[in-house]
Amino acid sequence: MNTDSKMLTSLQTDQVAKTDTLDRKRFAEKIAHNILNHFECSTESLVIGIHGPWGSGKSTLLDLIRQELDGTVKAGNQTLHIVPFNPWMFSGKEHLQWSFLNELAVRLGKIKWRFKKSLQRLANVVQGAAQVNFWMALFYEFIRRSSYLPIDQVKTEINNLLVKKKVRIVILVDDLDRLAPSEILEVFQLVKLNANFSNTIFLMAFDKLVVTNAIKNEFKQNGEQYLEKIIQVDFNVPAIMPEDLESMFFSKLKTLLQAHQIDFDPAELYGAWLIHGLRDYFLNVRNFNRYFNSLEFRLPSIYQDVNIHDFLILEAIRLFDYKSFEIIQTNYRSRVQFGIKSVYQSRLLKIQKRKSWSLYDYAFNETTYQLKDMKYRMREAEFCDRYFSLAVSKRDVREEEYLNFLHYPRTRVEWLTNSIKNSKIEYLLRR
């Protein structure tokens, strides 16, 4: 294959997934149904938390819920306004508060009544007021209109408008994991101050561990207890089933190999996956994206000159346990040359304390199992450097050159002459 050809598989990003590869649609339907049911049964505000670790698919789940709610609105079964709010785009308490209120007003733009204008004027007041909460800013707005009302009555009037006009609002808050600890707290304070609108639901996606640590570090108080005061309903992102992770890995690998016409049987990795810890690297979608994006860039240029099995395993160690990779890169070739009693072996044994040991020992130490293709194993000193340089030495013989030597007799004399001149003949004779 011509390695200069265009990539045939697209790189994966952290954007919301376009397809429901993790089968989360039913879970999203249940949450959407609960939201709609709450609106039917109550006008009280609600804050729902959806939490999961980094890369677990929170944004995709949030988008699936939005799609379900959108479908209900388009079917004419509900009058609902969905307001996505991404705090990552804003900074500072005043800017965050102003942006939130302004975004809310823009989203309610089709409603021809005074609440929208109040929100817009309110946003401008907040923009110029230092550390002022929503209700105090609203109070100032009423003063500006020469209509003094007690704060409680202000709240009642706004809430009555929301209920009377049957305006139901779902505010989606995402990307909290991208914020600095102080900014995370600003978002939760924003929600705490503004979560008493009637007919309003906040749906927030976040990593609970990140948020509770931020609260602990910034406020010096229990993060779990702080969240309990704000979040009324708590959902965990469903865990990905082991069989789904396995299916995803081998499906993506098969697609990549076919796209680049690489001859390798993915089944040869089953031992590494099931027994020796390869699957422990792939716990969420983001891990898959990192690994296969890296292969997309690195494998096509070198696959003819390395053992695919060894390369795939080493690449996983490089991405997910770089310290072990460094130890291997620095010592493995010398250990192959000088044996297991050398100092290089003792250095490699440091990997025993790391999660990659079983995989490393299986792939690069074990000698009892046989692969279908035993060419260019990393355990052979003359091929080892290829795995780290992603290139063949100028004195070495690439697979493409070797095949040309075998299949095109007319050019053999010329090629042999050049090989002797370039000191390649030793490597050719080894073949």
Model pLDDT for residues 177-191, shown as the tens digit of each residue: 778 888 888 888 878
Average pLDDT over residues 318-337: 95
pLDDT tens for 88-128 read: 766 555 556 656 666 665 555 555 444 545 545 544 544 44
Q: What is the DSSP string of 69-111?
A: HHHHHHTTS--EEEEEE-GGG--SHHHHHHHHHHHHHHHTTT-
d(CA 274, CA 256): 21
Instruction: Check pLDDT > 90 for residue 79.
Output: no
* CATH superfamily to which 25-236 belongs: P-loop containing nucleotide triphosphate hydrolases (3.40.50.300)
Residue 22: phi and psi, rounded to 5, are -100, 5
Confidence of residue 139 (pLDDT cuts 50, 70, 90): very low
Is the pLDDT score of 64 beyond 50? yes
Asked if residue 351 has pLDDT above 70, the reply is yes
Rg, the chain, Cα only: 30
- Paired residues of 201 in beta bridges: 46, 170
Supply the pLDDT for residue 427: 54
Where residue 63 falls among pLDDT bands split at 50, 70, 90?
Answer: very high
Candidate from 19-33, 89-103, 319-333, 339-353 with smallest mean pLDDT: 89-103
Query: Residue 251 has what pLDDT?
Result: 95
- Which stretch of DSSP H or E encloses residue 50? strand 46-51
- Could you report the per-residue pLDDT of 21-41, keeping only the tens digit for each? 778 899 999 999 999 999 999
Share of the chain above pLDDT 90, in %: 39
Structural domain spans, the chain: 25-236, 242-391
8 Å CB contact between 173 and 204: yes
Percent of the chain beyond pLDDT 70? Answer: 68
Between the alpha carbon of residue 59 and those of residues 55, 66, 223, 427, the distances in Å are 9, 10, 23, 53
CB 227 within 8 A of CB 127: no
pLDDT (0 to 100) of residue 361: 93
Residue-averaged pLDDT of the chain? 79
- Indicate the pLDDT class of residue 392, thresholds 50, 70 and 90: low
Mean pLDDT of 305-325: 96
Of the pLDDT bands very low, low, confident and very high (cuts 50, 70, 90), residue 10 is: low
Helix (H) or strand (E) holding 206: strand 200-206
Question: What is the Cα–Cα distance from 303 to 125, expressed in whole angstroms?
Answer: 62
Span 221-272, pLDDT tens digits:
898 998 998 999 999 998 888 999 999 999 999 999 999 999 999 999 999 9
282/251 Cα distance (integer angstroms): 14
| Nearest residue to 171 via CA among 68, 46, 73 | 46
* Helix, strand, coil percentages for the chain (3-state, nearest 5): 60, 5, 35
pLDDT for 375 equals 87
Reported for 72-77, long-range contacts at CB under 8 A and 24+ positions apart, including other chains, are: 72/32, 72/36
Cα–Cα distance, 65 to 174 (Å, whole number):
13
Would you say 272 and 359 are in contact if contact means Cβ atoms under 8 Å apart?
Answer: yes
